[in-house]
Structure 1
Amino acid sequence: MDPTATFPGAATRAHVEGVPRIQQDAFFCGPTAIAMVMQWAGSDIQQDQIAELAFSPRARGTYQADMIGSSRRLGQLAVEISTFDQLLTEVAAGHPVIVFQNLGLGIAPVWHYGVVTGYDLERDAVYLNSGQEDQMVLPFDLFQRTWQRGGNWALVVLPPDDLPVSVAETRVLSAAAALERVDQLRAAETLYQTGAKQWPDSWLWQFGLGNALYAQGDLRGARAALRYARAIAPDVPEIRSNLAHVEAELGG
């Protein structure tokens, strides 16, 4: 693979500053990967705390669904991506990306989660924090093979005031709704506010914000957000219904 020819639209090189390298405990590559991206974002969480939510002793590892679920239960925006272009775009935007790799062979798989922190097309190098104190550096072709053997699965985990740049608005909305489902209402509120700034003409963000505020008991905030949603989309019955409900409670 010639990376400069394969990805002509990508930035030539990118590096995400400040992602810590954490020596993983045995079989804790998943929790360690989440700890690295959360510590990069300012949290002091440790891999063993994440393992309490994500690690499966019987499997001696962490399922992908638990990587997503534990990140959301910790108040993070978690969105899957699956293409090389998306991965490079996120890293170029300053976002580390968790990837699932098979570092072994088909008959002897070695499943592993690492964190892509940078790349250099001209040097043919992908840089990963991989559960060790030393940085892992792989040629693009070798990285691609190990990632393909892992199903091209990757996860962007960010605080809710930062948005991924390579996924559709609907995917981010789904992530916000998922935060509500795990009772991370403050995180959902922040994500709805962030999304409303990014997509100001979409009523769904103000509608979601109103619902999240209502669930936290902030009726006046919910009314303001739902009125904003109604101004954007006056004919949506769900907005009118929820707004009427909030106004009735305030009136009472």
Structure 2
Amino acid sequence: MPNVPFYPQEAYQCGPAALAGVLNYWGVQVSPADIAAEIFSAKAKGTLDIDMIFYAERKGLKAVQFKGNLDDLQRNIHSRNPLIVLVDYGFWVYEQDHFMVVVGYAKGGIIANSGKEKHKFIPLDNFLKTWERAKFWTLRVTPQ
């Protein structure tokens, strides 16, 4: 889905950047800075997933969080619904959570708007390992 807007994230701003891309895709004009001003937590050094859900709903969209799988990703991409996923790039007991927007898939991997990279190819085994550590957290935001 090449028409999903991409916003390079600032430090600890992956949630607002991912959410801004999906909201703008659905016609809700908002910047990552606008979102961060309302839901970013400096204390948590990030954005809580529940706040992302509530923010999308306040903007008039339907937001459904669920435990996803590869079939969900492929089905939603075919239906032109970008998905926000949470991955954990940490190790052992150290968590390093990161939100990204899955915009496509290709042989051997997924394509995501992530961090400062648009349409980043992530090998499937790397993606699945980090997504599993985040309990396959997935957010679908769509019009009501």
Specify the alignment match of 2:50 in structure 1.
65
User: Which residue of 2 is the match for residue 54 of structure 1?
Assistant: 39
Deviations 1:126-166 (A, max 9, x none): 00001314432112111111101111101001222xxxxxx
Q: Deviations over 1:180-215 (max 9, x none)?
A: xxxxxxxxxxxxxxxxxxxxxxxxxxxxxxxxxxxx
> What's the CA shift for 1:104?
2.5
Question: What's the counterpart of residue 17 of structure 2?
Answer: 32
Contact 1:21 1:131 in 2 (8 A): no
- Which residue is equivalent to 2:79? 93
Tell me the SS of whatever aligns to 2:8.
coil
- Residue type of the alignment partner of 2:102: V
Structure 2 equivalent of residue 125 of structure 1: 109
Alpha-carbon distance in 2 for matches of 1:74, 1:43: 7
Please, which runs of 5 or more residues in structure 2 have no aligned partner? none
Deviation, 1:99, is 0.2
How much does 1:112 deviate? Answer: 0.4
Pick the structure with more strand per residue: 2
Aligned-pair identity in percent equals 35
Q: How many residues align?
A: 143
TM-score when scaled to structure 1?
A: 0.54
State the TM-score, normalizing by the size of structure 2: 0.91
* Residue 147 (str. 1) matches residue 136 (str. 2): no
Residue 92 of structure 2 is aligned to residue 106 of structure 1: yes
Larger Rg belongs to: 1
Structure with larger RCO (C-alpha < 8 A, sep 6+) = 2
CA distance in 2, matches of 1:134, 1:33: 11
The CA deviation at 1:118 is 0.3
Query: Shift of the alpha carbon at 1:60?
Result: 0.8
Where does structure 1 differ by over 3 angstroms across 4 or more consecutive aligned residues?
A: none
Q: Distance in 1 between matches of 2:61 and 2:86?
A: 19
RMSD: 1.4
What SS does the corresponding residue of 1:135 show, helix, strand or coil? strand
Pairing 1:20–2:9 present: no
